[in-house]
């Protein structure tokens, strides 16, 4: 049984509407807001492996949809922002890090203490914890330019705990992971251009346990990023 002209016209209308809706959604994800799955633990305890992070892609700049062409600036990055940045190694998976240094800042790390413009960023650590295999874990709350965020330190592990001081070049930023001793960040790949920032993370949209059959982490879904180590989990 064939289509009547009326049914064919109705079908074509439905297809057009679906295509328009898809184009609007994809365009919005390209330039306004999107979400990213975080595959590594470099931002623990703020972001866990398997978290899907909601990102304002238009937080700093507005681009031509589906391109790298920057049209105009929409905002200024701040110290303490959680940012998504183009993969510095050229891969397809973006990095999620914390912005700790702005253009002109002097950034230094001395035995896990972060200094910005020669001022130590105070950190208050909780009592030490032990992982299942006996490794020491320290969770703390760092005040970065007065903005609190949690961090994680693994003192038993060899790590890049001292560097700098370095001056952040004009038009670039310095990024670090909250999981200080398990993060590939600016200590290794250097400062990055502001134009490479893909957006600002604002919270966890969805989270699935690394052990797949344990299912979703319900307590993390639809939540802003934690700012206090007291609310963090070590794993």
Mean pLDDT, the chain, rounded, equals 85
Q: Is the pLDDT of residue 29 over 60?
A: no
Are residues 188 and 167 in contact, defined by beta-carbon separation less than 8 angstroms? Answer: no
Structure tokens belonging to residue 108:
């230094």
Q: Which amino acids are annotated catalytic?
A: 42, 97
Q: Is the pLDDT of residue 96 over 50?
A: yes
CA distance 139 to 176: 16
pLDDT tens, position by position, 30-49: 455 577 888 889 999 999 99
| 3-state SS, residue 31 | helix
Q: Is the pLDDT of residue 9 over 80?
A: no
Q: Is the pLDDT of residue 205 over 80?
A: yes
The confidence score (pLDDT) of residue 25 equals 46
The confidence score (pLDDT) of residue 86 equals 92
The closest of 55, 82, 96, 219 to 150, measured between CA atoms, is 82
pLDDT tens, position by position, 130-154: 888 889 999 999 999 999 999 999 9
Structure tokens belonging to residue 184:
């590939």
pLDDT confidence band for 217 (50 / 70 / 90): confident
Structure tokens belonging to residue 132:
């299942």
Rg, Å, the chain Cα set: 21
pTM of the model: 0.84
Lowest mean pLDDT among 76-90, 142-156, 213-227: 213-227
pLDDT average, residue stretch 59-69: 70
Per CATH, the number for 33-231 is 2.10.109.10
The confidence score (pLDDT) of residue 188 equals 94
The confidence score (pLDDT) of residue 210 equals 75
Maximum Cα–Cα distance across the chain: 79
Structure tokens belonging to residue 171:
């038009």
Structure tokens belonging to residue 128:
């030490």
CA distance 59 to 17: 29
The confidence score (pLDDT) of residue 193 equals 96
Are residues 51 and 96 in contact, defined by beta-carbon separation less than 8 angstroms? Answer: no
Of 14 and 163, the one with more pLDDT: 163
CA distance 97 to 125: 21
């Amino acid at each position: 049984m064939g289509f009547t002209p009326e049914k064919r016209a109705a079908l074509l209308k439905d297809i057009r509407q679906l295509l328009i809706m898809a184009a609007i959604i994809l365009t919005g994800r390209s330039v306004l807001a999107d979400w990213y799955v975080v595959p590594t633990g470099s931002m623990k305890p703020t972001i866990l492996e398997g978290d899907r992070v909601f990102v304002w892609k238009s937080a700093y700049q507005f681009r031509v949809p589906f391109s790298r062409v920057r049209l105009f600036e929409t905002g200024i990055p701040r110290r303490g922002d959680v940012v998504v940045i183009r993969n510095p190694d050229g891969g397809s998976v973006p990095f999620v890090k914390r912005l700790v240094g702005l253009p002109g800042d002097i950034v230094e790390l001395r035995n896990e203490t972060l200094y910005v413009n020669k001022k130590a960023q105070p950190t208050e650590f909780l009592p030490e914890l032990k992982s299942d295999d006996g490794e020491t874990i320290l969770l703390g709350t760092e005040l970065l330019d007065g903005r609190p965020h949690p961090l994680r330190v693994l003192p038993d592990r060899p790590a890049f705990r001292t560097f700098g001081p370095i001056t952040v070049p004009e038009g670039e930023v310095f990024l670090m992971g909250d999981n200080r001793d398990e993060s590939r960040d600016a200590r290794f790949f250097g400062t990055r251009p502001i134009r490479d920032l893909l957006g600002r993370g604002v919270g966890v949209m969805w989270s699935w346990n690394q052990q797949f059959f344990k299912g979703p982490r319900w307590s993390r879904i639809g939540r802003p990023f934690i700012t206090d180590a007291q609310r963090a989990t070590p794993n």
